[in-house]
Amino acid sequence: MLFVDIHHRLGAFDLEASFQSAGRLTALFGPSGSGKTSIINIIAGLIRPDSGRIVIDGKTLVDTAQRSFVPVHRRQVGFVFQDARLFPHLSVRSNLLYGRWFTPQAERYAEFGRVVEMLGIGHLLARRPALLSGGEKQRVAIGRALLASPKLLLMDEPLASLDDARKSEIMPYLERLRDETKIPIVYVSHSIAEVARLATDIVVMTNGKLAASGPTGEIMRRLDLLPPEEVGEGGAVLDMKVLGHDEAFGMTVLGTRAGEMRVPRIDRPLGAAVRVRIRARDVMIGTERPKGLSALNILPGRIAEISQVDGSQVDLKLDCHGDILVSRITRQSFQTLHLAIGREVFAVIKTVAFDRANLSPGAPLVLTSD
């Protein structure tokens, strides 16, 4: 459990944030200059807040009312930055082992072999950082942070300097990190795709103030919280189960609360939990079950909430037997179809909305933990 309640002034910038998160990966999300890095620095102990309290897993790191402040070197936090910051003159193995020196023997829990295996960097151990790709460097940087056996991992835009191909290469490792270790992670990002896939909880900052915080599914469907350039990426994030594979058509069948959905085949076993992002712009509304459509996925639901976005668009929240979908449609369609709260409708989801990047092992799939 992460508890943060802080107030701090940095020149003309006033930072105020109060949130708690029970999640394993808490994303700090918000535009540039909203205060994300400052919060990370306060949690790390690099900045002493003017006032407030920070408690992680029952351990108080800061409590200004009690004049208590655990210094940075006693917090046992692991850092991963945008750039890997590896030592160029040391091999990957020595870079990894370096992190261990700072942790007393008795408190070392991270095992070298296991960390190397989890991050898939065994074949790189003898190399110098200059001979690694950007994605490989970041995996080594994560390994170095983990081998210090941190009690908390702070990641400040760890994927920001990587291209899309390297990002998708490293995502599965971050998912394993989230699911296989018990270390709470605070993760700064301003990418919806990243946050939707990785976060269990999201804290949204705007201009030094908390805009909202809560579980990923709840925050992701609040399109009003997203910056204009990212609104198209917003929508529902749902946990589904793999029900079967249809080899003849190369499809996977997923179970939702409102029925089955078919997506391009994913390599997950039967029963596995997957997290699926369905963008609001990919959900159309039918007042009757549509026929003769190429879209494979049609879920029945009821309009639970209506919010007018601007003169021309409307957002609808659809309660599909407990799974909440979001649909952004034109005000014209909204009026023509006479939509209203409580109305039974059909959500039509284009199959193409499920590209592989949007499918990830969901939170319930904890592989191991010790």
Site residues (CB under 6 A) for ligand ATP? 10-11, 13, 30, 32-38
Q: Which of 249, 152, 251, 234 is nearest to 196 (CA)?
A: 234
Helices (H) and strands (E) in the chain, counts: 9, 21
State the number of CA atoms in the 13 A half-sphere of 340 facing the CB: 1
Q: Output the CA torsion 157→159→161→163 (10° steps).
A: -150
Rounded to the nearest whole angstrom, what is the least distance from the CB of residue 181 to ligand ATP in the complex?
Answer: 25
Nearer to ligand ATP, 21 or 252 (CB): 21
Task: Let me know: does 53 contact 128? Beta carbons within 8 Å.
Answer: no
CA dist., res. 201 & res. 22, Å (int):
8
Rounded to the nearest whole angstrom, what is the least distance from the CB of residue 225 to ligand ATP in the complex?
Answer: 15
Q: Which of 291, 290, 255 is nearest to 270 (CA)?
A: 255
CA dist., res. 74 & res. 123, Å (int):
33
Nearer to ligand ATP, 33 or 244 (CB): 33
Rounded to the nearest whole angstrom, what is the least distance from the CB of residue 142 to ligand ATP in the complex?
Answer: 20
Nearer to ligand ATP, 27 or 359 (CB): 27
Nearer to ligand ATP, 30 or 52 (CB): 30
Q: CA-CA distances (angstroms) from residue 28 to 5, 37, 38, 79, 221?
A: 14, 9, 11, 15, 16
SS3 content of the chain, % helix, strand, coil (to 5): 30, 35, 35
CA dist., res. 57 & res. 41, Å (int):
18
Rounded to the nearest whole angstrom, what is the least distance from the CB of residue 219 to ligand ATP in the complex?
Answer: 17
Nearer to ligand ATP, 34 or 256 (CB): 34
Rounded to the nearest whole angstrom, what is the least distance from the CB of residue 232 to ligand ATP in the complex?
Answer: 20
Rounded to the nearest whole angstrom, what is the least distance from the CB of residue 34 to ligand ATP in the complex?
Answer: 4
Task: Let me know: does 127 contact 53? Beta carbons within 8 Å.
Answer: no
Rounded to the nearest whole angstrom, what is the least distance from the CB of residue 83 to ligand ATP in the complex?
Answer: 13
Rounded to the nearest whole angstrom, what is the least distance from the CB of residue 35 to ligand ATP in the complex?
Answer: 4
Rounded to the nearest whole angstrom, what is the least distance from the CB of residue 339 to ligand ATP in the complex?
Answer: 38
CA dist., res. 186 & res. 26, Å (int):
5
Q: Retrieve residue 131's tokens.
A: 């001979």
Rounded to the nearest whole angstrom, what is the least distance from the CB of residue 33 to ligand ATP in the complex?
Answer: 4
Nearer to ligand ATP, 36 or 328 (CB): 36
Instruction: Count Cβ atoms within 10 A of the Cβ of residue 29 and give its class: 0-12 exposed, 13-18 middle, 19 or more buried.
Output: buried
Q: What is the CA radius of gyration of the chain?
A: 22
Task: Let me know: does 281 contact 289? Beta carbons within 8 Å.
Answer: no
Which amino acid, 51?
S
Nearer to ligand ATP, 32 or 369 (CB): 32
Residue tagged 């020196």 (tokens): 101
Which amino acid, 182?
K
Nearer to ligand ATP, 11 or 269 (CB): 11
Nearer to ligand ATP, 203 or 283 (CB): 203
Nearer to ligand ATP, 41 or 181 (CB): 41
